[in-house]
Amino acid sequence: MSGDRLLTTEEVARRLGVKKATVYAYVSRGLLGSHRNADGKESLFAEPEVTAFAARRRRPAAVPDAPAIHTGITLITGDDLFFRGHRAGELATTASFESVATLLWTGKLEHIPVEPDPDLLALARAVTAPLPATTRLTDRLRVTVAAIAAADRLRFDTTPAAVIARGRTIIGTMVAALPVRAQPPQSPALADNLWARLTERPPTPADLVALNAALVLLADHDLAASTFAARVAASTRAHPYAVVQAGLAALDGPLHGAASEVVAGLLTEATRSGDPVGTIADRLRADGSVPGFGNPLYPAGDPRAAVLLGLLGESPATVDQRSVRAAMARHSGAAPTIDFALAAFTMATGMPADAGEAIFAVARTAGWIAHALEEYADEPSRFRPSGRYAGRSPRAAG
């Protein structure tokens, strides 16, 4: 290394286009080597190693036959998240979910109400009414979307105006068809109406701000599994309802949309035992990892979690989640993810364990519609990768 030029932390951060905290995170995860200068106060980095690391970050993974997906919706920089050039964290505290949905769909930050279609809502309520009281909220959303799709005879119109109109109808009807747990609000705001269907507790203004923020922060996240599924459906020219159904199907799993419920179990156990370190130790022993911590897309910490956790008030639940976060910080330095923040929010507001997944599903529907609009404008049926056959040869089978 003696002949290599050495870069300071600030120079490395500038070269990689990240913050200094992210550089430190790369070092702590063993992705980038560092060396101390003579007085031991400054970290230095060999320029060839930094150059090679930058090249690895830029090089896309090899996916045979995978078509290029060029999107103008969401940018993840490693430090932050942007929707069409707007910082998502700022939108979460300054804009309504409805206006962010419009931004994702049209590029304009404009509040346009999201309202259900009366006839489709009546159908959705009739279809979901016989479901058992124990039916998960997201299962109710899936049934609602399937039912109202069957009733919309013009659903195959994939022109932008028609898709956007249906996007608002789908989201509004999904929420309005859920059983009411509290007095419905006078406000037409989607966050207000969703609140009444997630908890019996009357909301404070701060509660509604936090729920709206959660919806905004979860509205899109580039090509997550459910969004990729939605784009594949849209590439076949499936109608917008089917696109949302594809997204909801991929969302249904403990590693994606239902992740917050897994975290809620962790927080519940930590609260019950009063021993967050013991709870973490049990999870590590049983599963080898602790849910709700460490997002590889954000080495220095998930900015969405920071925003939502910052909006939570004081309650026994928030005190308990802080103790878990502190224990994890001491253990590995891992920062909480949006799944952790969502679980903390639902517990602090008295919502059921599956409420986080429902919030996720309603919010991400806006993103799926945005990606469908992009896909409808591209070449159809683009996604046809070839499998690598590893079975018996025809001769051996015969």
CATH number of 38's domain: 1.10.1660.10
Going by the DSSP 8-state scheme, the letter that residue 130 receives in this structure is T
Say if residue 363's pLDDT is above 70.
yes
Residues 239 and 106 grouped into a single domain: yes
Residues 133 and 181 grouped into a single domain: yes
In a domain, 391, yes or no: no
Q: Measured in Å, how far apart are the chain's first and last C-alpha atoms? A: 60
Residues 217 and 316 grouped into a single domain: no
In a domain, 381, yes or no: no
Residues 156 and 292 grouped into a single domain: no
Residues 80 and 144 grouped into a single domain: yes
pLDDT tens digits, one per residue of 230-266: 999 999 999 999 999 999 999 998 888 889 999 999 8
In a domain, 68, yes or no: no
In a domain, 273, yes or no: yes
Residue closest to 361 by CA, chosen among 232, 178, 239:
178
Q: What total of structural domains would you count in the chain?
A: 3
Residues 37 and 87 grouped into a single domain: no
pLDDT tier for residue 313 given thresholds of 50, 70 and 90? confident
The CATH code of the domain that includes 268 is 1.10.230.10
In a domain, 398, yes or no: no
Residues 253 and 264 grouped into a single domain: no
Residues 246 and 293 grouped into a single domain: no
User: Of 311, 331, 348, at which residue does a domain stop?
Assistant: 348
pLDDT tens digits, one per residue of 141-165: 999 999 999 999 999 999 999 999 9
pLDDT tier for residue 1 given thresholds of 50, 70 and 90? very low
Identify the sign of the CA torsion 113, 114, 120, 121: negative
Q: Which residues pair with 6 in a beta bridge?
A: 46
pLDDT tens digits, one per residue of 56-70: 666 555 455 567 788
In a domain, 324, yes or no: yes
Q: What is the pTM of this model?
A: 0.83
pLDDT tens digits, one per residue of 192-232: 999 999 999 999 999 999 999 999 999 999 999 999 999 99
Q: What is the pLDDT of residue 226?
A: 96
198 and 181 in contact (C-beta within 8 Å)? yes
Residues 91 and 230 grouped into a single domain: yes
Going by the DSSP 8-state scheme, the letter that residue 95 receives in this structure is S
In a domain, 277, yes or no: yes
Residues 96 and 199 grouped into a single domain: yes
The CATH code of the domain that includes 145 is 1.10.580.10
Residues 237 and 111 grouped into a single domain: yes
d(CA 170, CA 151): 12
d(CA 230, CA 250): 9
Residues 206 and 167 grouped into a single domain: yes
In a domain, 64, yes or no: no
Domain that holds residue 51: 6-58
The C-alpha torsion from 272 through 276 and 279 to 280, rounded to 10°, is 160
